[in-house]
Amino acid sequence: MSQQEERAWRTRAPVTYALIAANTLIFLATAASSPQGFMAALENMDSLTLLHWGAKYGPLIWEGEYWRLAAAMFLHGGILHLAFNMYALLALGPPVEQLYGKARFLLIYLAAGIAGNAASLAFNQGLSIGASGAIFGLFGALLYVARRVGGQAGRQLWGQLLLPLIINLAYGLFNPVIDMYAHLGGLAGGAAMAYVASPPAVVVQLWSGSAGEARRARRVGWLWRAVVALALAAAVAAAALHPHGWYGDLQRGNRLYVQGRYAAAAKAYQSALDQRPDLPSGYCLAYYNQAMAYLKLGQPEQAKQNLEKVVQIDPGFDGAQILLNQLRTASR
């Protein structure tokens, strides 16, 4: 593809730019809502805020909060995480959007993101966020195009895609923070939806520059628009539902804590602990937050007991260990 053609493609990618804007605005709103403060959240978002906004978390999804499979792809853990993913979306989004059209491109993106989170859910019950599953889906869509086009154009596209794809997959294998299940699930989901969303002949003709096929591809049928609109409406409606049960009490405790109502917050955290003693992650969060409320109430011994339980359940909870050591030193 010539530089002139590439520039033309990038100026005709409204959905790509809308997705970048949506991810950025949601990230800023998430950071603004974090109890740790806006600037601190920009660098490293706390888990409770991400859970509240819809992070993929196995125990909550299995309890019925399936909307998290879609919501999690719009959340990011820090400014660098967001910047890396948006740069990749800017590189891969315009060509896929031009080949498939706006509605089908959005369908591929969303389906790949959901497929990535579903794969992550199947093999990893922990918290997971980010647009990378959907972005790997765009890799999958372009690889499908390269296979269908064949010939010199197909080989050229393969050559452009294969090295960055291998580098990204290899980096994920050696970085324990990265959710490889989401990446692989998104890659497969994007390729599968690329096959479903557009007849191969249309993609081939578009790549070869046929004006007739390009006009045909732009006349996206009402069915695709309806599917995308319904999927988005369902995700928005589900995201509007308030958390319930133990997680609702956990969030209620957080709100009370921010309001300075520490005694009420401690009771809310205890309610969460009483309901779900079988969830280690929820256990740790409730114990830790309750310890913070106890400290505000001037009850360091109760806080210390909570922190000891947190460290016992999760020895890798560094914040709890540091605070516990400080309390032990102060009590000597």
The set of catalytic residues is: 132, 183
For residue 34, the SS3 value is coil
Which residues neighbour 190 within 8 Å (Cβ) at sequence distance 6 or greater?
Answer: 108, 109, 111, 112, 115, 134, 136, 137, 138, 139, 140, 141
Contact 231, 209 (CB under 8 A): no
For residue 2, the SS3 value is coil
- Pull the structure tokens for residue 213: 């096929």
For 224-262, give the DSSP string.
HHHHHHHHHHHHHHHHTSPP-HHHHHHHHHHHHHHTT-H
**Rounded distance between C-alpha atoms, residue 69 and residue 46, angstroms:** 19
